[in-house]
């Protein structure tokens, strides 16, 4: 088993996908709603909480899913969406680079 560090280009692409998904206020609101609902929510429940049309809601869900912020599984005829908190580590890591004094630590 290899303990090779992830390719920086792949990490940057993944972080870009997360930031792109979080750039839209409706997607941030969907993510927060699912989080505060207990971390998982049916697609129909999500749609009821927003004033946009179903196709718009599903597009937002797909973007969040593609970025890895939400995952889904089918339970009967229902799609259950779940927050994937691990992807948020990319945001935390990126923000960590902005900590005062970090640039000096990294150069030494």
Q: For residue 81, what is the DSSP state?
A: E
pLDDT score for 105: 57
pLDDT score for 4: 63
Domains and CATH numbers, the chain: 9-94 (1.10.10.10)
What are the C-alpha distances in Å from 73 to residues 9, 38, 83, 108? 29, 16, 12, 46
Report mean pLDDT in 10-residue bins for the chain, 108 residues.
67 89 95 93 90 87 96 93 91 84 60
CA nearest 29: which of 4, 7, 52? 52
CA distance 69 to 92: 14
CB atoms within 10 A of CB 27: 20
pLDDT score for 9: 86
pLDDT score for 100: 81
What are the C-alpha distances in Å from 71 to residues 59, 92, 96? 14, 20, 26
pLDDT score for 104: 58
């Amino acid at each position: 088993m290899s303990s090779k560090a992830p390719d920086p280009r792949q990490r940057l692409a993944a972080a870009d996908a997360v930031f792109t998904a979080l750039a839209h206020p409706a997607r941030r609101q969907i993510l927060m709603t699912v989080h505060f609902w207990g971390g998982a929510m049916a697609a129909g429940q999500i749609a009821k909480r927003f004033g946009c049309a179903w196709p718009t809601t599903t597009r937002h869900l797909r973007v969040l899913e593609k970025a890895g912020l939400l995952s889904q599984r089918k339970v009967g005829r229902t799609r259950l969406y779940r927050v994937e908190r691990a992807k948020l580590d990319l945001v935390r890591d990126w923000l960590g680079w902005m900590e005062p004094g970090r640039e000096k630590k990294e150069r030494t």
